[in-house]
Structure 1
Amino acid sequence: MKTQKKRSDCPVSFSLEAFGDKWSLLIVRDLMLHKKCTYGELAKSDEKIATNILAARLLSLEENGIIQKLEHPDSKAKVLYQLTQKGIDLIPIIVEINLWAEKYMEIPEKRKELVSQMNADKEGFIRNSINELKAAHIEKTK
């Protein structure tokens, strides 16, 4: 992992340097909540990220230790992306962002069920998400 020069010692500033651009948390969201794990799957996200931006953000997330690349079991030309423990530790942040957004904006119908689950049992949702990701990681490395 590359050592990055920090703008300041402020934890918010440091965190934003790691994942605070327009796209990085959306990539983390897709790896976390939508179980996407290949470049092609990530490129097909609703937000329509440009391929050059996707490649740059994946590299940045990898350099920051938030994701890692694994060999794809079915193709040498593909890789799998997965969250590291550092990335998994962003689950509570993603949950809080969703809950904040629900409070201040209209949530699309297709997202309401997920946010409702988060609202009903935030700690349980976080715990289950962590367990699911860890189980998926074990399965991918077999």
Structure 2
Amino acid sequence: MARKSPGALRAQSRLAGRSGGKTSPIDGLSSRANAAIVRLQLRHPKIGSVATALTSYRRAIWRSGRWLELLGDCPCPSCDPVGQRGILEGAMRRLPPAARRELRRVVDALDEEFLRKTLPDPRAAELNAWDAQAWWRHRLRGR
């Protein structure tokens, strides 16, 4: 019976590992940062897809007009910018410093727009401990 060579087996396993994740690279990040994100998602699958979260967060912020429209109105989690921002924060906490800086730079620009399109919640001090940990949960829609 014919056997595969060790080099063929290594190549096959590398290709299987690449196609298994099916993650698209994030625009604005280096290949090293994208690789760090893929490794993070493999080690911590509960985090979710960072690329999908960033795309959804970006879409929710830029699609809305003067005020952020999709805080609590849409039942699907992909339209909720607060949930997507939480996924991004979880990823940024676990990434290595260089990749964290790159992702933070991309997210900071979106955060500025998020802050501009929302208002501070005057009842934020009354929130439970989980809500109080994240500033993006202390915001209200403009209307």
- Fold shared per TM-score above 0.5: no
TM-score (normalizing by structure 2): 0.29
Greater helix proportion: 2
* Higher alpha-carbon Rg: 2
TM-score (normalizing by structure 1): 0.29
Relative contact order higher in (CA < 8 Å, ≥ 6 apart): 2
